[in-house]
Chain A
Amino acid sequence: MDFSFMLSAFLRLLPGIPLTLQLAVISIALGITLALFLALLRLSRIKPLEWMARAYVFVFRSTPLLVQIFLVYYGPGQFPALRHSILWPILREPYWCAIIALALNTGAYGSEIIRGGLQSVPHGQVEAARAFGMGRLQIFGRIVLPLAVRQALPAYGNEIILMVKATALGSVITLMEVTGLAAKMISETYRAIEVFVVAGCIYLVINFLVTRLIQLVEHWLSPHLRSAPISTGFEKKVAA
């Protein structure tokens, strides 16, 4: 392998990192908001809302993200009404189209993770909050959500990593993030392996850092789970 070429590839791909991160961070932030909203609809016990959330999750989980990105990017242009609406400045930008598609997609996955977290909250702890006179919003904000977040975080970490990688699909709608720059460089040099290895390594490093960050947050949020070392039953034998 040609290491000096790989170094120059690395330097060419480096400027793509901010865009990759922007796509990931913004779409994840929007996606979490959407996910929470969908999870609440799903658990609202109001049938029409529940079914709306179900249908949403079904559609967005069962179709390829790439197709969703194409639809958001090419779709609205077909409707003159949209082309002349105030949304057009946003919808005509590939940047925002990618973010919208990514957010809509991760919202569907995230809502299932959050729903699992919300459902895992022990009933007794909610009941205690009720018995102490806490109102619905207080119970949700101070008891249910904190417990649900702690429960959902490991799974959500997974989703965040998937999202960082999914930003690569932005390259197919002209975005020059890491993968976009890599594809462009290959079309100029025809040296696919070196360039893609470098691109892959960049994602590897980003996700390594993301993983550590999630672990840190998990650690910080769950002192209550770091209880006394679990007894294995072997200690007594040793002592005896």
Chain B
Amino acid sequence: MALLSHLLNTLLQTLLDLIPIIAIIFGFQIIVLRQKIANLKNILLGLLYVLIGLGFFLVGLEKALFPLGKIMATQLTDPAFIYSGFESIPLTLHWADYVWVYLFAAAIGFSTTIAEPSLIAVAIKANSVSAGAIGVWGLRIAVAIGVAAGISLGTFRIVTGTPLHYYIIVGYIIVIIQTMRAPKMIIPLAYDSGGVTTSTVTVPLVAALGLGLASTVPGRSVIIDGFGLIAFASLFPMITVMGYAQLSEWRSKRSMEKLEKQENN
């Protein structure tokens, strides 16, 4: 019963979220463009799918993944777990003691990004626009690796207490250098991937991890270090997506050169 009312509540929320979008689009279609909406029946059905789908998705996440993921994040960052093999909790912490935290950060960053619906949407679009040159899975995995590396490095930063802006500035310098060298067609997509990753699935779990770490590692501030992880999660996908394009360009160049050599012989 509680589930049902929760579900109805979320559906209503999602509907409220959708209404302004629908109103603006249909309003402009009818008043400014004076145009009938083609395939109206299909589109309304599709919108119904979006509404129900998103509602189910959110309720399911709140029932299953978020509680468990949040408990795990707190347990993994708990000094009682980290120093479980030790005789006593040492006075000064060593970054290597937190190795399970870094691994968990990378794993959860990767897996939540793979399930991120807005990234799936962008990947489908990029695949059809590039006529298949950019694979749906290639892009999703490239972004997921970026988020994994970013969040893992972000937890390392919280543990060691090094300033956030050093990492971010170095990251952006790498982005600028890659922008000058990467194939032109990947750049806007790579920049978009940064904004797409920080969405429904990733943010709550990552925030729980940041919060758990910041509240158990001595000398960290919950406010400053919690949001730092999100900044990492939107920076690193840009690097890995451009890297993915550079790698595929380099590989196709090399196989072309091989082919030319064979022909010359």
Tell me, yes or no, whether A binds B.
Answer: no
Which A residues have a C-beta under 8 Å from some C-beta of B? none
Which B residues have a C-beta under 8 Å from some C-beta of A? none
